[in-house]
Amino acid sequence: MKLIRFGETGKEKPGILLGEKRLDLSSLVEDYNETFFENNGLERLKIALAKYSTFPELSSAIRLGPPVARPSKIICIGLNYIDHCYETNVPIPDEPVVFFKSTTALCGPNDNLILPKNSVKTDWEVELAFVIRKKASYVEEEDAMAYVAGYCLHNDYSERSFQLERGGQWAKGKGCDTFAPLGPFMATPDEIADVNNLQMCLSVNGHRYQYSNTSNLVFKIPFLVHYLSQFMTLLPGDVISTGTPPGVGLGIKPEPVYIKAGDAIELEIEGLGASKQVAVPHTN
């Protein structure tokens, strides 16, 4: 299944993507949130879809929101591609680098990127994200995939001057509003033949900066579920983003390249769709 949420910001309803058709499932499901996943929602939805075959079709022009409702947390893994470590001139980590994005950063896949006030170094990061299916605490690595609800495309936007030049606290550069566009959909694991072999790319104004494959992850999903669950309880609907490959603006030689108002950022992961954000200045 490919789950979508659609409608105005903050008023999204649940739906599903079947081929090119977007269908409204709000008659079956209240939302794709913690309660949904916690109460075996994916299995119940699959049964209901087999039983009922007719649902309202949505216009392709309707806005898509993030495919899961605001999670309890968005956990990100830093420096998780070997070549990205090289381009940023840092050692390959012995253990995952863990940081959080504010849940208020979450937005739809094609919403505008709002450049924060005083932003001078806003950067892009195409990433594979996954969603937690059920409560996870002290999970063994061999059992970890049973805790995965599905996969999403994510752009882990980062304001490098906030992140690296103001006390070295990553969360300050990661949690700005609109810095976590997610989707266009969440694909359940049966939709993806091999999550460890997905092509991924990102371009800015038509110039491709990132091109890699999830096979290059240092720490893969089963280990990440196991590892994170040793330090915190992962709740149903939580989003975990697995890190970005080489080609971020910070690493461009001879001079870094950063996002400016009017730039169009387009990204895609094989099997997980594409998204596009246009950068606009902060107006308040």
Residue 220 and residue 177 in one domain: yes
Residue 216 and residue 106 in one domain: yes
Q: Specify the 3-state DSSP secondary structure of 278.
A: strand
Confidence category of residue 88, pLDDT binned at 50, 70, 90: confident
For 94-151, the pLDDT digits (tens) are 999 999 999 999 999 999 999 999 999 999 999 999 999 999 999 999 999 999 999 9
Range of the structural domain that residue 244 is part of:
66-281
For 41-64, the pLDDT digits (tens) are 999 999 999 887 789 999 999 999
The pLDDT score that the predictor gives to residue 82 is: 83
pLDDT score of 209 more than 90: yes
Confidence category of residue 24, pLDDT binned at 50, 70, 90: very high
Confidence category of residue 84, pLDDT binned at 50, 70, 90: confident
Residue 200 and residue 221 in one domain: yes
Structural domain count of the chain: 2
pLDDT score of 11 more than 70: yes
Tell me how far apart the alpha carbons of residues 97 and 78 are, in angstroms, rounded to a whole number. Answer: 5
The domain that holds 252 is classified in CATH as: 3.90.850.10
Looking at every residue in the chain, the average pLDDT score rounds to 95
* Per-position b or e across 80-101, b if 16+ CB within 10 A of its CB: bbeebbebeeeeeeeebbbbeb
The pLDDT score that the predictor gives to residue 196 is: 97
Residue 60 and residue 181 in one domain: no
pLDDT score of 168 more than 70: no
The pLDDT score that the predictor gives to residue 86 is: 78
Residue 75 and residue 123 in one domain: yes
Tell me how far apart the alpha carbons of residues 181 and 156 are, in angstroms, rounded to a whole number. Answer: 8
pTM (2 decimals)? 0.96
Residue 79 and residue 49 in one domain: no
Tell me how far apart the alpha carbons of residues 260 and 230 are, in angstroms, rounded to a whole number. Answer: 40
For 248-268, the pLDDT digits (tens) are 999 998 999 999 999 999 999
Residue 100 and residue 190 in one domain: yes
Residue 50 and residue 126 in one domain: no
Least confident of 159-163, 199-203, 207-211: 159-163
Q: Which ranges of the chain would DSSP assign to H, the alpha helix?
A: 34-38, 41-51, 82-87, 160-164, 171-174, 221-228
Residue 158 and residue 244 in one domain: yes
